[in-house]
Structure 1
């Protein structure tokens, strides 16, 4: 076997080698069909590339990269209006607006790469490093200087594959955790889950269900998603712009394209009062794992009817019924997710600035890039 691996960078899914999907078994988010969703409906400020890693002629690794131009965003998040936010925005525009990510900025979890079991993982990450440098040169040739390079969302085991000289100058960080809900093998129905809750959290369940009694949940097909696209976009955008920090906004056609390509593997649930859509959530079937995706809602109704909490309970009920092993709830609203039984999984990443004078201060700068969230973990089970 070679002491090193070669790589090829692809600009479109049409160029991908025929055996690409043979390696995309650990996650659907590296599959050709998902990459086609990105290609047809990625955020306006995002450009995706795909990396194939080869041992001689054999494809042994696949990866996705995303270039983000943060100057194209009107807002990084409207929620926190303070001096710190203003400073952060100035820092971003001038020193951190061109970001190259190895991984997927739209998801939580290890969706950056998949390697064949037979290969040397550290040598494979070296090939990723070389491919990243090649991508930077490609962008430079187009007049774009990459400010920040980051590899994101690895477990404590996976981050060890990056312990090589190439990554020595990268700052290792840990962001907000990934909230993961494990489904007990004895649970066969939603009632089994309810029975496992302590009295306080059973009462929370009953109270939230009572509050949502006037709301009807419906699974929407492609035609309905298309028909309601404007309302869906308004509800999504309302939630997205009120997040503390944004690096992208989904285009209006995103959910339509997802449904067209993924069909029954992509679930879209609308919440209605009468015929008015007042909220929605989306789920993606990812092998034995259910991945929660983007949602939207009318905030006034959400508060009054505990809509978000009801959505979480609905996701749990469906996933138990369909024999999924776990639900990835991702990294927002940590406390409320822990109140339904999700547990935090620590995730790691690496980050580096193109300017070597900046890197020694990355630990300080990072606090501006990724504001820390203070939250209290709950345990709802008996």
Structure 2
């Protein structure tokens, strides 16, 4: 099987027939409209879209973004021995590095590569890996990070180890499976054990002073500065964030995806103090970024209310599953969320630094957390 690669830096330059060949656009995250919204809204990122062709037919796709990250941003919250952390910081001179991400840097999940149904998966994935190596040779970059793969994909993605990548576990996605008999939030709460039902009710009671509004495109534009500030306030408290999203991206997403892309604002005394964002993608409701005024969070229970409202939205949209994303895993498990393990692959562009990086990657430990069993036993 003879495979070739073709690269593009703009979505508009991609031939429409390639999307038709792959049959991938029913998943919103592989649609040109979704990809273009991020491309247009984030001028400080360089985008490369890779298509693997068999003769002239597209059989695989990879989405990459080239971003600049401070090394200490990467190492500050990673659990490794102090001397190794100092060594890695020293290798990069405590400086910023350029990282090529394969996978959407703003999403948590397996949205970076797509392999056409019916094609040999290992061969096409290896063709993607080879094309990434070819891309890396032509650009200024320090490291490559291929993300986020579920356990059932590892029999394919572990081929990256032959390309000198090291594998590493990252924080899991926390997901809630919704029962078809849950037609309301009360139905969901009735399935919870008593202590977790009390917790959900308390979140609603403590946030009763909030006014909640679903945003349309005009609302997002009107409140864009406040949304951006709340979002940046929230990611400043995160363990790791590779890149700051320009939330003007959300105006484009709302225009393209209408009711499938959701922004919900939380107001207190006419001031925006929080928001959630989400995408209904096929049978899933995926939580995207949130924003919180932490000075008001304790008194108004903004974050617990946001979590409750993700469940409400999932039920109202008849989703089969809610993906609450990474971080705050223990809190999310109190709503019934279960961890979905994810694997990433990392390497330095050059062999000698990569030989030093590999032991660092092997020593990375993800945070442990207490997994609550929120639902009643059947």
- Tell me if TM exceeds 0.5: yes
Matched residues in 2 for 1:57 and 1:253: separation?
36
Q: Flag structure 1 segments of 5+ consecutive residues without an equivalent.
A: none
Q: Identify which of 311, 320, 337 aligns with 1:316.
A: 311
2:240 alignment partner, one of 227, 241, 245: 245
Q: Deviation string for 1:310-332 (max 9, x for gaps)?
A: 11111111211221010111111
**What residue in structure 1 maps to residue 301 of structure 2?**
306
Deviation for aligned residue 1:97: 1.0
Specify the SS of the correspondent of 1:19.
helix
Deviation at 1:128, TM superposition (A): 0.5
| 1:291-328 superposed Cα distances (whole Å, 9 cap, x missing partner) | 11011010021122221111111111121122101011
**Contact 1:79/1:243 (8 A) holds in 2:** no
Report if aligned partners of 1:33, 1:261 keep a CA contact under 8 Å in 2.
yes
Superimposed CA distance per residue, residues 27-79 of structure 1 (whole angstroms, 9 cap, x where no aligned partner): 311110111111111373x21111111111111112201111225x9x83999
- Answer yes or no: is the 8 Å Cα contact 2:206–2:299 preserved in 1: yes
Pair 1:112-2:112 in alignment? yes
Task: Flag as ranges the 4+ runs of structure 1 deviating above 6 A.
Answer: 77-80
Residues 220, 78 of structure 1: alpha-carbon distance in 2 compared, 3 angstrom cutoff:
farther
**1:164–1:373: structure 2 CA closer, same or farther, 3 Å change rule?**
closer
Residues in 1 aligned to 2:372 and 2:62: alpha-carbon distance in whole angstroms:
35
**1:373 counterpart (353, 363, 367):** 367
Q: How does 1:215-364 map to 2 (within 5 A)?
A: 215-364=210-359
Q: CA deviation at 1:126?
A: 1.5
Q: Is contact 1:78-1:241 (8 Å) kept?
A: no
| CA distance in structure 2 between the aligned counterparts of 1:163 and 1:332, rounded to whole angstroms | 25
Contact 1:258 1:266 in 2 (8 A): yes
CA contact (8 A) 1:179 1:328 kept: yes
> Is the alpha carbon distance of 1:91 and 1:379 closer, same or farther for their aligned partners in structure 2, counting shifts above 3 Å?
farther
**After the TM superposition, which residues 64-75 of structure 1 pair with which residues of structure 2 at under 5 Å, given as runs?**
64-70=63-69
Q: Give the TM-score of the pair, scaled to structure 1.
A: 0.89
Shift, 1:127, TM fit: 1.1
Per mean C-alpha deviation after superposition, the further-off stretch among 354-363 and 321-330 is 354-363
Please say if residues 129 and 163 of structure 2, whose CA atoms lie closer than 8 Å, have aligned partners that are also in contact. no
- Structure 1 residue 362: deviation in Å? 3.4
Q: Does 1:212 align with 2:207?
A: yes
CA contact (8 A) 1:8 1:53 kept: yes
Match of residue 162, structure 1, among 150, 157, 163 = 157
Does 2:54 align with 1:59? Answer: no
Distance 1:64 1:58, change over 3 A: same
CA RMSD between the two structures: 2.7
Q: Secondary structure at the match of 1:111?
A: coil
Give the equivalent residue in structure 2 for 1:4: 2
Question: Quick check: 1:181–1:341 contact (8 Å CA) kept in 2?
Answer: yes
Q: Which residue pairs with 1:76 in the alignment?
A: 73
Distance 1:93 1:101, change over 3 A: farther
Shift of 1:246: 2.1
TM-score, normalization by structure 2: 0.90
Q: CA deviation at 1:137?
A: 2.2
Total equivalences in the alignment: 371
Change (3 A) 1:344 1:43: farther
The residue that corresponds to 1:150 in the other structure is 145
Whether the 8 Å contact between 2:8 and 2:48 is mirrored in structure 1 is: yes
| Cα distance in structure 2, aligned partners of 1:354 and 1:209 | 50
